Structure 1
Amino acid sequence: MNEGKRIDGHRVTASFVIRCLIIAFAGVMLMAGAIPGTFAGQQTGPVPATAAAPGGASAPAGEVARSPSGSQGLIVASTSITADLARQVAGDRWEVVSLMPLGADPHAFEPTPQDARLLARARLVVLVGAGLEPPAVTRLVRSAAVQAQVIELAPQLAVRSEGVSAHEGSSSQDESPSEHEPGTHAHEASHGDLDPHVWTSVPNAMRMVQQITSALERLDPAGKASIAARAERYLAQLRELDAWVRRQVDRVPRERRVLVTNHETLNYFAREYGFTVVGAVIPSVSTLAEPTAAETAKLLDAIRRANVPAIFVEATVSPVLARRLAQETGVRVVALYSDSLGPAGSGADSYVGYMRTNVTRIVEAMSDGR
């Protein structure tokens, strides 16, 4: 029974074959992550929202925020920044995840079939809007999130990229969220010239929190008191953050408050806190645009004339062009977070930490050499 067959002069027994099959199966399961090992625990899907505690501390990025028994359902936010805002309000009553992983460039993000399955489970989808998410994402939301309420936060706050207000009087904190099927709203026609980076102003982030709060209170009337209490606690943190930013900016002389970025991400920050945007390496609110030779030459001249202390590059965008300009002008290149939170331990893994990190780096760059 156990004689086996001979292959290339070697006796192969049944027990030997069985052992080989077991080893092969274990190897396949290891590669798939079913057995703890080299590939286990790798994050390939959406990144969960970080849960910031008072003072800006947050749960490690990549750690799924599981809802307890009796959960109200799933909130899918398009970016890690808006997911963090939603998590502060939703608390343990909801599960919150970010559609885009940490470090993703939202302008170039390509959704996957896994994202469609995620959206199909959602009760609330939180988009930035105003053109931040690419058309592929808004189409997917429209087709997959058929059971969800969809809100876009930025159209209530956005201004045109040339600085002309797109929605007169839209800064009121009492406005309700923009609820609609993305891609079919009246704002859609003007999204091309809106600047979606509204969260770089802390007062705007507070208005975004209020929009999310209103949506959740309608979806979860039984939890309205808890949601309102969490929102108020978080808004108090954001008011403290806004005051801190203003104190830090006051350390920089007005003549040195000049900004050059990789692409147009800090217009709202500049307007809110008294800076002048000299220009951007990519003169667009989207990273997909490319500068012309004339635009680059104009920016070089502006950097020299304005005595710009640094070019601020975003973690989600290639810094190659910025570094070339910095070499030609002799200014520093300083890294900032823009369209995504940072990883755990970066100091920017919550919205509060994101703003503190960026403001600290901006102020230090502008204070050097004084």
Structure 2
Amino acid sequence: MTTAATTTFSLDTVDSNQAALNGRFETSSIKHDLFLATNGFLWNRYTPFRRGAITVGSASLSNPSIFSEPNFPDFKDRYRSVYTFQQSVTLGDTIALNERWSILAAVSNSWIETSNYNNAGGVTGGYSASGWSPLGSIMFKPGENVTTYVTYANSLQQGDSAPAGTVNQGEALAPFRSNQYELGAKFDFGRFNLNAALYRIERPYAYTGSDNVFSMKRTQINRGVELMASGAINDEWTVFGGMTFIDPRLHNMGSPQTEGRRILGLSQFVMNCLVEYHVPSVQGLTFTANVNYGTNRPTDYANTSFVPDYAVLNLGMRYAQLIAGKPVTFRFDVFNVTDLHYWANETPAAQNGYNATGSATGILGAPRTIRASLQVEL
């Protein structure tokens, strides 16, 4: 059956704030870069009074149909169902012990509050929590243009909301903690930079099990390597690119079909590379080529089905000149040059998993698209 889901939130409002203060001083021969920052938000989510899946007919990707528009509810007739407040204060110091060794130490305190409401305005659940999140990094410069580092971070993060169809649908889960370890190196060649990092991230994973209750039952462990390059190779060629090898796995699943399987919708290798060629004989003329690549992605938690890998090529040019004393830039781009038919994204039906068997949402990649634009700075 083909349905139109009306279970989603119909309005989100977010009010955010951010402030930072930086200072630099010395104690004897030791240099300090001190920073104090705060950021936070108020987030209200509204749900229609009338909701639920509407059956419109029967169709499939191989046999699509056009249906008449169903009688959708009034999405403006809604009530506030979730309120979330979060505010963090961070204090840190980068301590330069000498020309080769430095230490970064930072700590933040977060206050997180969430309330869930029914359609009569009554409070049905929520929590109020606070906690400290430390971060520490040791940096060593074996050479003038090379910096190596090792970092550990433990952070308190906002919990997820239970998706529609679960026993506790709409409930905001309590905050959880994640742990990250990272080892990396940075190479600064002036106009060109290279970065490499090896990392491991472990965090609780919200999941709807056989009891149909959405809760922090599982563990997600991500292991990966990141490589990035950016800058000018010479006056004509500029490169911006990166690649990531990641092994995201679920653990403590309680089922041999899903234990140790890959996270739904994530490629194990992704790459993006943008190359620009500045034509030396024509001032202001630049040609660009951008390649995006990703390997296959599982569409269920048991990893029994996958969407294939993809490679998308985008080509373009821009021409910038002064006309009548005003900067003018003409751009011409062709996206998805080969008109590849591919799945741009595969995600769980909810932010953090949906049910024991898995439920994926697929987004088709855009077809070949041609765009021309003219920009004038007045």
Q: TM-score range by the shorter chain?
A: under 0.3
More strand per residue: 2
More helix per residue: 1
Q: TM-score, normalised by structure 2?
A: 0.23
Q: TM-score, normalised by structure 1?
A: 0.23
Taking CA–CA contacts closer than 8 Å with sequence separation of 6 or more, which of the two structures ends up with the larger relative contact order? 1
